[in-house]
Structure 1
Amino acid sequence: MSKYDSLAIVISFYSLWISSYLSDIYEVILGIILILTFGIYHGANDILISSKFLSNGKAKNSITILVFYVFQVLLALLLFYLSPLLGLLLFILASSYHFGEQQLSFLKTILPETYLRIYALSYGLMLFFLLFMMHPAEVVAIVKQITFFTIDAQHIYYGFVIFMCVFLLFTFLVLIAYPKSRGSLFYQFLFLGVYAIIFKVSSLIWGFAIYFIVWHSIPSMQLQTIFIYGSLSRFHFFKYVKDAFLYWILSVLAIGLFYYFQSTSKFFITVIFSFFSAITYPHAFVIFKMLQQKKTE
């Protein structure tokens, strides 16, 4: 277990302690603020990362990359507007793979690519449905609010059982083929226990915010800093924060404008979710390419 993993466990339980002093509404507000800050910030350097792995040592027009990136976001927003249910399903799939890919990145050098992709997807889906299973009523309400489609809370439980079984099967196969991965996989199960406690004790938004910020966004920022600048020194990390600041400001302003022009929308969470899902697709692709290049190197 790394030093950061130990610190993440402490921060997670400290966050639960803080939430015990907050009302439900303030807990949701704080969770959304964290998602809009650290959550979006961890994807604000996607243009710089894309320039690095697409340039291959040659000068690359970052404006072209930015235009293509924005075009992908607009396409995702259009999809979500035309078919909210399809947009929601694709968001869950993309996010599940993205979370699982980072969580299981230590296996990238030993597992075949196709096997690792299925394994990562099953991990991420199990994680999402673990969160959903702890708050079925909230999930049913939000899904209906976003897609106007009613799901059965029982289906959430079935989904969790199915994806957990797939994940356990793949874990068993990995342990047989690569017994040296036993220690790292043990810690993943320990972390899953921590996530289960977080999701159970906290509200839906707060539980997701804790995982998304503490266990995903900050570790992702560390990996990105190493990829871009070559090391995780304090100087390079602050340079990462500085380089991402303009893109983060633009993203937050875009969310504000998107909400402002959605005059018929009564629910801020719907607008946040729609925009957040739209920026997830290109970000997940950028990190996928980044981890691929790191594996090659």
Structure 2
Amino acid sequence: MMENYTKIAIIITFFSLWLSGYFSSPSQQVVGLFLIFSLGILHGSNDLKLISKVTTSSKPIQLALFIGSYIGTVLIASLLFYSIPSFALVAFVIFSAYHFGEQHFNTVSDNTSTFNKSMFLSYGLTILFLLFNLNSTATVEIINSLTGFTFLTVWFKWIFTFTAIIWLLFALTMVLKNNMTWKRLLFELFLLLVFAVVFKTATLIWAFAIYFIFWHSIPSIFEQQSFLYGEVSIKTFIIYIKSSFVIWLISITTVGLLFLWIQDEKILLPLMFAFLGAITFAHSFTISKMFMKKAY
């Protein structure tokens, strides 16, 4: 299923790149936000269902504590973005990077060793800082709006170069250990080239949405369907949507109310990233638990 989807994702990515030449910047932002708040938020809205399956205990009290810790993580993350935004933003980037890398490479590795975890993190950071470097002006504005700190654009290039080299060393090591094929490595390098073209052509939000939706959220939904229901099909997708709908509706309603309350365009994008950051912390822990359970 995933091999077939990868081919489709490449076609969709090139189609999105083609659309970038016809969409104005405001239009790209609107479409990007629509995708993020639909499929993007949806892929993390079934976490409580996942928690009930990944927890090894059937005792209601322990399950309640696990769910409580999930909700508590979201609340603490939200508080950090409000009180210590610089720390929260760095943590968000690190957690997101690891989460992206883990999702992307779960079929060729697992998350049970320090080596694999480091490879996940380095790949995710490579993707994010490639995006930040090629949309440096917009990224600096968001960082400044969130934290008040002015990030030098050259730092994006340095961090991207460093993380890309580290990831490539990890990937080459996996190839030499026969944990990854040369064909897969060459394909990953090709993907990075494709992402670079997309990130350079599209606006920050549209570029992020293309990667986040088509290369992370949809594959994640497939993985969750397989884990929860044993197969990926239209039937299980409908079940997945029904199970996720209430949490998804609460999430987008909360963001919508915040937007209406603040009514300041300059804070809309920083607020969106802060919101995504708050739910990413808890979501990444849940998905890691899912992959660990699948590995056994």
Category of TM-score, reference length = shorter chain: over 0.9
**Equivalent in the alignment of 1:214:** 214
Shift of 1:104: 1.1
Which has the larger displacement, 8-17 or 176-185?
176-185
**Equivalent in the alignment of 1:37:** 38
Describe the superposition over 1:197-244 as per-residue Cα deviations: whole angstroms up to 9, x where unpaired: 211111111011000000100000000000001111221121111111
Q: Gaps (5+ residues) in structure 1?
A: none
SS of equivalent residue, structure 2 residue 23: coil
Shift of 1:48: 0.1
Alpha carbons of structure 1 residues 67 and 260: separation in structure 2 relative to 1, 3 Å: farther
Which has the larger displacement, 177-186 or 37-46?
177-186
CA contact (8 A) 1:95 1:124 kept: yes
Map of 1:1-297 to 2, 5 A cutoff?
2-56=3-57, 58=58, 60=60, 65-108=66-109, 113-178=113-178, 181-262=181-262, 266-296=266-296
CA contact (8 A) 2:109 2:179 kept: no
CA RMSD in angstroms comes to 2.0
AA paired with 1:170? Answer: F
Aligned pair count reads 294
How many angstroms apart in 2 are the aligned matches of 1:27 and 1:99? 23
CA contact (8 A) 2:44 2:283 kept: yes
Q: Gaps (5+ residues) in structure 2?
A: none
CA contact (8 A) 1:143 1:150 kept: yes
CA contact (8 A) 1:107 1:116 kept: no
Provide the identity percentage. Answer: 36
SS of equivalent residue, structure 2 residue 151: coil
Shift of 1:70: 2.2
The TM-score, its normalising length taken from structure 1, stands at: 0.93
How many angstroms apart in 2 are the aligned matches of 1:108 and 1:213? 22
CA contact (8 A) 1:19 1:202 kept: yes
AA paired with 1:115? Answer: F
Shift of 1:68: 3.2
CA contact (8 A) 2:102 2:120 kept: yes
How many angstroms apart in 2 are the aligned matches of 1:87 and 1:227? 31
Alpha carbons of structure 1 residues 73 and 39: separation in structure 2 relative to 1, 3 Å: same
CA contact (8 A) 2:46 2:244 kept: yes
Shift of 1:65: 4.8
Shift of 1:283: 0.4
The TM-score, its normalising length taken from structure 2, stands at: 0.93
